[in-house]
Amino acid sequence: MDDLLKMPIPFKTRQELAAGAPSGFLSIGHRGASGHAPENTRLAMDTAVRLGAQWVEFDVQRHGDTLLVFHDDRLDRTTDGQGRLLEQSLETIRQLDAGRGETIPTLQEMLDHIDRRVGVNIELKSFGGTAAAVASVLREYVDQRGWVPDQFLVSSFHLRELREFRRLAPMIPTAVLLCGVPLDLAACAAEIGAVAINLASDFVDAELVADARSRGLKVYVYTVNDQDDIEQLRACGIDGVFTDYPERAVFVDRAA
């Protein structure tokens, strides 16, 4: 593992990414390679790339006019800070250690760091303006910084927020996050124009998956770390998994 983590990071052109994403069985680094490095940090994203992930996923919350890459409501679990994220000043937040000397990045810092090496799934963690702020940033990165829309996938549990994102940036693909089996199956995703459902591993229901397929939707499953489980999901036609250990999904796909 140590030798693997020292390998140079491969660079993929935007043409290579656009040609192959999202398609095939994807290894999506959950908050980067968070089984190996502090979650939602630049180090975690670099590690995911080195381990072969085709995509990475990270969380975004709005803190005033700033979009921060961070998952929890509170700082305690993943940093040396305490208290609620939104109750701390931006100056304080930016000085925290998020693990192994990493800091909490902004969305723009994270995108600049990833620099189109892999596809990016952005989860909208907060609501009340997060969608609009993220849409503004991603439009800039598409229009001015060489990214293409298919290098992004924006997801959320907040369907109203996701619908607002779709209204403001219709060219960028979206996915509905599900932690259960809706009564109308995958209809909610189709109704807002999503291209995929991101489904919790405990709710991989055959009827839901079949309904998503019938509507032309991809199905990605989170968060799957056991290699046997990854193999079973690939065998039943799931399109990819979010995993803390991206190399496990890469191994399963190459061994198939």
**In the chain, what are the domains?**
2-72+107-255 (3.20.20.190)
SS3 107: helix
Beta bridge partners, 197, equal 176, 219
Tell me the pTM.
0.92
Q: Answer yes or no: is pLDDT of 12 > 50.
A: no
Alpha-carbon distance of 255 to 217, in angstroms, equals 25
Average pLDDT, the chain: 92
- Which range, of 23-37, 74-88, 99-113, averages the lowest pLDDT? 23-37
At 256 the pLDDT is: 77
| pLDDT tens digit sequence for 140-193 | 999 999 999 999 999 999 999 999 999 999 999 999 999 999 999 999 999 999
- The catalytic residue positions are 30, 71
Query: Treating both helix axes as pointing N-terminal to C-terminal, what angle do 130-144 and 159-168 enclose, rounded to 10 degrees?
Result: 30
Beta bridge partners, 242, equal 28
At 5 the pLDDT is: 42
Q: Do 73 and 58 contact (CB within 8 A), yes or no?
A: no
Q: Sorting pLDDT into bands at 50, 70 and 90, what band is 13?
A: very low
- How large a percentage of the chain has pLDDT more than 70? 91
At 1 the pLDDT is: 38
| pLDDT tens digit sequence for 124-139 | 999 999 999 999 999 9
Alpha-carbon distance of 213 to 196, in angstroms, equals 9
Q: Answer yes or no: is pLDDT of 50 > 50.
A: yes
